[in-house]
Amino acid sequence: ITPKAIDEALLHPQKIDENLVAAQTGRRVLDRIVGYKLSPILWSKIKKRLSAGRVQSVALRLIVEREGEIEKFQTREFFRVFVTLSKKENNSPIEFELTKINSESIEKQEKIKLYDGDYTYSHTSLSETDANEIEKGIYKKDFVVTDVVEKEMRRNPSAPFITSTLQQDASRRFGYPSRRTMSLAQRLYEEGFITYHRTDSYNLSNDFLTEARTYIEKTFGKKYLPASPRVFKTKSKMAQEAHEAIRPTNLFQNTNEIESKLGADFAKLYDLIYRRALASQMTEAVFMSTRIESETKSDKTYTFQTNGRILKFDGFLKVWFYEEEEQIIPKVSISDKLDLKSSKVSPHNTTPPPRYNEASLIASLEKHGIGRPSTYAPIISTITARYYIEKKENRFYPTEIGTTVSNFLVKNFSDIDDLAFTASMEDELDAIAAGKKDWVPVIKNFYTPFEKSLQKAEKQDKIEVVEEKTGRICPKDKGDIIVKYGRFGKFYACANFPNCDFKESIVEDSGFICPRDKGKMATKRTRRGRTFYGCANYPKCDFAVWTKKELEDKAIKQEVTPDEA
């Protein structure tokens, strides 16, 4: 929203696109049908105040399915062998890892099918006995360099941000929930600092490209400017590309101005958008990559490998973040002899598929064509507010009630609570927007089988939700104290409610002590579900911090006794 943009819009008025109106009407009717029909069934079959939705239920299913996949995953132990070698005349040590035995790779890859796609993990074929025997066998043996490969590698800049990638990067770098990111971006947009932030297009205007190229050449020099503007294409067949990518409206508007006007969080997000958009129009970064192989022989031939990489030309990394450590390897040549300085055997475990965080959940929804740029944040907010999921250490865990709801929907509405179906409905809505279909037949085709599923679900038995017991006894009537969910999160209550009104806040110990009054620092949540850390002695002490980093910097680490450990 800038004076120039408003003037341009007034000079080129357009008629309302009735196809887009029809698509929006169809989407709204579809979502109302699913929400209004499914939610009452959840109330009667599980418990009151639950909800279901066409898109939110699929997002919940992703998290529930992942938890089940993690539980099924069988972790196994494996071992790696490392050696530290150096040339006789040069004492600079180089760490190598065992990669082959008798020219056969010891690295194995396994692939398992998940609800969300394939998950690949790797491990070696070495047991602890194998690794220890190898370590003994190579003791005092000579090592010879058998291969040295050096090659130049180029890394291109990423595309400017769209809604999903902005939410993912803000989550990874700053720990911002998607809702917070969108709130900050909304204000930046309203103030005229950035372009529209609900977009799935990588396109940049010609005006911006011209301004960016001039800025890059004047500020950094010609070697940072590619021969022609970079053009990025979306890979998503669902993309509507109605707007530009997210970019600053003025490259000469610096972060300090944003901070002084709006505050630090707005400035951080603006800086991220600014860097990404500018970097997208700069030259690639150039690295020199080195791979060295060294062999030793006992009863078998053991091949060890090391890799190094150094930055030769920073290119777009002049503006964007360069967060990798350089791995500098001393110069060696084929046939050089290396001395063994030390060796070690390292235990490892295969890792199950990771739980979703904000970034990976949004990436998965986008990959499968679920939802739209404007809906990612509300989807996550809704299933969090319903206590279907909870966040621990920035990862999503399904709650007991969330798992129960998802399993019920999968059992009775498998055609609806499914990735493929939800994505296909988005295709249908896009066809309406393109004028290829009418919204009424599309909704009718959906509703006919849906109505039959509703009738079947009505006949299901009521599900008893197991209350989470604490093992504590109520001081008022000696009933069991259980964990309940309210508007502002978990709390303790008597199982005999409403006959007994005992309730108590849950204090989640953060492992830190308040620097003011030495009380415990508790993990708390605001009314909107945002996590913070505050003194458990509130309101007597109001010390609080927003992030784990601030907690570590300002609070006192709690000492752990041997018994507690």
* DSSP structural state of residue 246: B
Q: How far apart are CA 514 and CA 523, in angstroms?
A: 12
Strand duo 94-101 + 301-313: pairing: antiparallel
| Edge-to-edge strand ranges of the sheet holding 489-494 | 468-473, 480-486, 489-494, 503-505
Tokens of 409: 């929907």
Angular region, 529: left φ>0, alpha ψ -120 to 50, beta rest: left
CA distance 480 to 491: 14
Residue with tokens 């005092």: 140
CA 421 to mean position of chain CA atoms: 24
- 119, 139, 189, 196: which one is catalytic? 196
CB 419 within 8 Å of CB 367: no
- Distances in Å between the Cα of 391 and the Cα atoms of 325, 352, 399, 504 are 31, 18, 10, 21
Residue 534 pairs in a beta bridge with 522, 544
Rounded Cα distance between 267 and 181, Å, is 12
From CA 249, how far away is CA 194, in angstroms rounded? Answer: 5
Q: Are 470 and 481 in contact (CB under 8 A)?
A: yes
User: Closest by alpha carbon to 217, among 272, 168, 282?
Assistant: 282
Question: Could you confirm whether 224 is annotated as catalytic?
Answer: no
Are 87 and 336 contacting, i.e. CB atoms less than 8 angstroms apart? yes
Strand segments (E) across 48-93: 77-87
- By DSSP bridging, strand 520-525 and strand 508-513 are antiparallel
Quickly list DSSP for 261-322: HT-HHHHHHHHHHHHHHHHTTSPPEEEEEEEEEEEEESSSEEEEEEEEEEEEE-GGGGTS--
Residue among 520, 475, 519, 533 nearest 501 (CA): 475
SS3 for 413?
coil
Q: Answer whether 158's CB lies under 8 Å from 317's CB.
A: no
As given in the structure block, the two tokens for residue 289 are: 């990559």
Q: Which residues are catalytic?
A: 196
